[in-house]
Amino acid sequence: MEIVVAGAMIGAAGYFGYAFNGPFTPALLYVLVPSAAILWWSLQVRDAYVSNASGSLFPVIPLPSRGSLDIQAIGLLFLLTAYTDLYIIQARPDYGLKIFGTSFTGTLGILSKAQSPTLHVLIGVGFLLVKRWGLMVYLLYTVFGILNASVNLAVLPGPHRIRILFMLSLAVFTAYILWRRKRFAA
């Protein structure tokens, strides 16, 4: 079954790459990647929860993380967000990310843009493994995100719908993560 799924994914990736002239296309980014991730993840979860192994579950979900599927799903969303960040950076290399109301150029500009996918990957992996360090990276990201969005809201011209929505969604996600914080293992 896994070989058929892998073959279908490779075939679909090849088709989308050929049909849309390259690997970074909206169809590949918003159709194939999420569909493949959901399919792969559902197969892993099914195999993990029917496994009789005493050590660890097949092969991704460690035994202590049972009952933490919601946190792992959020981790998967963070990995998808990192992939989207990389697409945006690749598609618009001249875009200057605003950090505390300022956009940087040159090496600082590249580093300022690279921090977003880097943090999203770290948080995603930490949440997939349900590790306490993932929670700590997320909390640091949250403090930085709310401070940055607040300063940008104060000093940059409007409209501010996206910044306000980001701050509200970050507050809701953080409240949920703090409520579930006991699930994170050391």
Task: Give 123-157 pLDDT, tens digit per residue.
Answer: 999 988 888 999 999 999 999 988 888 888 888 88
pLDDT at 67 over 70: no
pLDDT at residue 96 in the model: 76
pLDDT at 10 over 80: no
Q: What is the mean pLDDT of residues 7-33?
A: 64
pLDDT in tens, 21-32: 655 566 566 666
| Residue whose C-alpha is closest to residue 174's, from 150, 138, 121, 127 | 138
pLDDT at residue 55 in the model: 52
| Residue owning tokens 């909390």 | 139
pLDDT at 89 over 70: yes
* 49 Cα distance to chain centroid: 24
* 97 Cα distance to chain centroid: 18
Q: What is the pTM of this model?
A: 0.64
Q: What is the mean pLDDT of residues 6-32?
A: 64
Question: Does 81 or 96 have the greater pLDDT score?
Answer: 81
**Under DSSP, is residue 158 helix (H, G, I), strand (E, B) or coil?**
coil
pLDDT at 176 over 80: yes
